[in-house]
Structure 1
Amino acid sequence: MTGRRTVAVVTPYYPPKAGGVERYAARVAAELAAAPDLEPVVITTASRGLRTTDTVEDGVRVIRLGAWLRVSNTPLSPLWPVQLRRWLHRTGAVAVNGHAPVPGLGDLAVVVAGRRATVLTYHAGSMHKGEPGSALADRLIAGYERHLLPRVMRRADRLVAVSPVSLAAGQPHAERITPGVDLALFTPGPPPSSRGRTVLYAGRLDRTSAWKGVDVLVRALPELPDGTRLVLAGGGDAAAGHLALAQRLGVADRVAATGELPAAEVAALMRGAALLVLPSRTEAESFGMVLAEAMACGTPVVGSAVGGIPDVIEDGVSGLLVPPGDTRALAAACTRVLTDGALADRLGAAGRERSERLYGWDGLMARYLSLLRSLTVDRPEPRPGRVSSRTR
């Protein structure tokens, strides 16, 4: 449209794949689409295959590049430098907003952006996995974080850190804009003390995301009060392994895995759960969006004292923190919430207040768009790009 400046939102992951980075990037794209002076184009990766697609999804142009391989859940392709330059030119983008939870597409877009304005949003703390069999991957990640990532960050006009442990935090040209919550979707349920004893985990269930610590939560289940159920909401190739672990522990009848769910169904599960648990083990968990979403539902939360989680949960006020990887401590904290109705209600109410005050998307995205406008105001108007008639 005439007068609108195109911003390329470049992210390795995008809906329908579910996760914190995907929701953050999708929200940025939606806000740009609603703005009178800015227009988004999303450049992301295809879930499978090498073919590039150019479609319109929910009113946003989405270009999906093929990936030649995936290393520890990170899509990669040697063609991306050429493809990114070509698509930035074709779409008339005057700015690039790269989202980088892992090495790859988002930071590469900043490098090849040329004279375009660039904003790099860095979602992760250190991506060291620290898991058995990850030594080689950890060495590669260490080299990237020590030698390459600082150069990319210096190249960007501005950085956005999503939490204090984001590797962008503390840089002189960084601004902190956390993930947010759709407060119209994630609304309070009944008082937690009146809910059934359901413990909820919502998030990835991938083998490459073993640092999420879901196995710790499954191991804690036998120590929780009788009648407690565990619901694992999310997709991934590790789900079967968690169910097998529950079988070995004798609690298979108390565990359910839902698979990938749309946001509305996740919100419904949160409103009905007695508590939500995020048992991550490493600083790769730089924020924990599901915590803020559960808090918005008035649901008590328990999380590991690692990464950005302590910045979201005020221990003893809006939730409880436990040492990462400590099954007994996790079980004890969950039991406190499940058996003390007054505590559960107090945590739930404080969590809702905190989520409303700090994590509403509207206020966060107003700051984001202000940042993008400040960098694009003097850029020339983009030429309109070709939009495919194929839609999803």
Structure 2
Amino acid sequence: MNAKVMPQVTPRTVAVVAPYYPPKVGGVENYAAQVARAIADAPDLRPVVITTGATRLRTRVATEDGVLVVRLGTWLRLSNTPLSPLWPLQLRRWLRRTGAEVVNAHAPVPGLPDLAVLLAGRRPTVLTYHAGSMHKGEPGSGLADRLIGLYERRVLPRVFSRAARLVAVSPVSLASGQPHCEEISPGVDLARFTPGGPASARPRSVVYLGRMDRSSAWKGVDVLVRAFAEVAAELPEARLRLVGGGDAVADHVELAKRLGVADRVEATGELTGDRLAEALRGAAVLVLPSRSEAESFGMVLVEAMACGTPVVGSAVGGIPCVVTDGENGLLVPAGDVAALATACRTVLTDGALADRLAARGLEVARKRYSWPVLTDRYVELFRSS
């Protein structure tokens, strides 16, 4: 008797469209990469990533970590927004060429993700929105804020209405509350971000991890440098490590010089992989001093928690959704130098508190933010779209 031959099922192709993608470092980049890897691991799905590249005209295509990545040329950048007039034609061509059947776009950077939703045709789209309002509210940002306001009032509602499904990364995401939206937070790689020694036994190092661009001044790194100067006045052994790249790094180093603490401030540049995890494991406290609703979550907070590192964050945006003040971290008013200095000094000098915050943070990271649990929800979304 002939054995019954089971029909082969062609995997469904999902196009992950993001303005940036690794090796560029950032929360949205890491989130999109985790989704792409989850698709690659699903036997009935196949990923393709469409993102931007550094070259002006040439499209570069390569397989990276088992995922096909198409990097479209970028003609110019406005602030943090890459742009090209060729993208409408290129997106249509690459969606067709790769056989994409579902589109997962990642925003808020305007441009490529919006086009992906608007040009998807009959393909179902899942739009992941990563931020609250992108208003900067910084000196000199008047024109940028007006353009952002126009985009959020006029363009974004159309994009939201065109998407079949919306995903908000936190309750402060502008997608949150839409009728066809669900919340899937960022997560952490618990195999890489593992606990270090007791927080109370670590050298008194304050660590910031994230981009330091002038266009992202709302990250509040200048507030942290000023707060650290107050901490250093009382704790001569304290050190500040600024981990990340960007055109504002030199500005922060210069500010440290003016405040007389340059010899205690280290700008390491970008760290990735195991070196990044080691930096978090060795920190006495991780600080996220953002001062804008654009900080809708703060993935680095969860990565630090998974390393058993106490965290201090601003009470703004999505940070309070991750950090419960006095329980798994400390919260301070956004932009308040004195309050931030007090919180850092407290964690550095109160060993019992530091260890308690670290233990609770580790518990929260393991229970709520494991990447496989979160990306499994995406896989089901793509299967049902």
Match of 2:369 among 356, 359, 362: 359
Q: Is the 8 A contact 1:21 1:101 kept in 2?
A: no
Deviation string, structure 1 residues 342-381 (Cα, Å, up to 9, x no partner): 0000000000000111111011011111111111xxxxxx
| Superposed displacement of residue 47, structure 1 | 2.4
Q: Aligned partners of 2:247, 2:55: CA distance in 1, in Å? A: 16
Q: Aligned partners of 2:9, 2:85: CA distance in 1, in Å? A: 35
Q: Find the counterpart in structure 2 of residue 319 from structure 1.
A: 329
Q: Aligned partners of 1:111, 1:287: CA distance in 2, in Å? A: 26
Q: Is the 8 A contact 2:88 2:119 kept in 1?
A: yes
Q: Aligned partners of 1:22, 1:264: CA distance in 2, in Å? A: 17
Establish whether residue 23 from structure 1 lines up as the match of residue 33 from structure 2: no
Which amino acid is 2:110 matched to?
Answer: P
Q: Find the counterpart in structure 2 of residue 175 from structure 1.
A: 182
Q: Is the 8 A contact 1:33 1:39 kept in 2?
A: yes
Deviation string, structure 1 residues 21-55 (Cα, Å, up to 9, x no partner): 00000001111111100000000000233211111
1:303-318 → structure 2 map (5 Å cutoff): 303-318=313-328
Q: Aligned partners of 2:115, 2:360: CA distance in 1, in Å? A: 41
Q: Aligned partners of 2:273, 2:110: CA distance in 1, in Å? A: 27
Which amino acid is 1:110 matched to?
Answer: V
Q: Aligned partners of 1:9, 1:294: CA distance in 2, in Å? A: 27
Q: Matched residue of 2:245: which SS?
A: coil
1:100-249 → structure 2 map (5 Å cutoff): 100-224=107-231, 225-249=235-259
Which amino acid is 1:232 matched to?
Answer: L
Q: Matched residue of 2:256: which SS?
A: helix
Which amino acid is 1:215 matched to?
Answer: D
1:255-334 → structure 2 map (5 Å cutoff): 255-334=265-344
Q: Matched residue of 1:362: which SS?
A: helix
Q: Aligned partners of 2:34, 2:256: CA distance in 1, in Å? A: 36
Q: Is the 8 A contact 2:198 2:355 kept in 1?
A: yes
Q: Matched residue of 2:127: which SS?
A: strand
Calculate the TM-score normalised by the size of structure 1: 0.95
Q: Is the 8 A contact 2:9 2:44 kept in 1?
A: no
1:70-81 → structure 2 map (5 Å cutoff): 70-81=77-88
Q: Aligned partners of 2:196, 2:216: CA distance in 1, in Å? A: 30
Structure 2 gaps, min length 5: 1-7
Q: Aligned partners of 2:297, 2:39: CA distance in 1, in Å? A: 23
Deviation string, structure 1 residues 169-215 (Cα, Å, up to 9, x no partner): 00010010000000111111101000000000001011111000000
Q: Is the 8 A contact 1:7 1:93 kept in 2?
A: yes
Higher relative contact order (CA 8 A, sep 6+): 1
Q: Matched residue of 2:101: which SS?
A: strand
Q: Is the 8 A contact 1:102 1:124 kept in 2?
A: no
Deviation string, structure 1 residues 219-274 (Cα, Å, up to 9, x no partner): 11121122110001111111011000000000000001111111211110110100
| Superposed displacement of residue 2, structure 1 | 5.5
Q: Matched residue of 1:183: which SS?
A: coil
Task: Tell me the percent identity.
Answer: 71
Q: Is the 8 A contact 1:102 1:127 kept in 2?
A: no
| Superposed displacement of residue 79, structure 1 | 1.1
Q: Is the 8 A contact 2:80 2:109 kept in 1?
A: no
| Superposed displacement of residue 101, structure 1 | 2.3
| Superposed displacement of residue 82, structure 1 | 1.0
Q: Aligned partners of 1:35, 1:354: CA distance in 2, in Å? A: 27
Q: Aligned partners of 2:17, 2:143: CA distance in 1, in Å? A: 27
Which amino acid is 1:93 matched to?
Answer: A
Q: Aligned partners of 2:274, 2:166: CA distance in 1, in Å? A: 31
Calculate the TM-score normalised by the size of structure 2: 0.96
Q: Aligned partners of 1:18, 1:336: CA distance in 2, in Å? A: 30
Q: Matched residue of 2:62: which SS?
A: strand
Deviation string, structure 1 residues 322-348 (Cα, Å, up to 9, x no partner): 000000000000011000000000000
Q: Matched residue of 1:93: which SS?
A: coil
1:76-95 → structure 2 map (5 Å cutoff): 76-95=83-102
Q: CA RMSD in A?
A: 0.9
Q: Aligned partners of 2:44, 2:382: CA distance in 1, in Å? A: 11
Q: Find the counterpart in structure 2 of residue 383 from structure 1.
A: none
Q: Matched residue of 1:257: which SS?
A: strand
Q: Aligned partners of 2:298, 2:145: CA distance in 1, in Å? A: 22
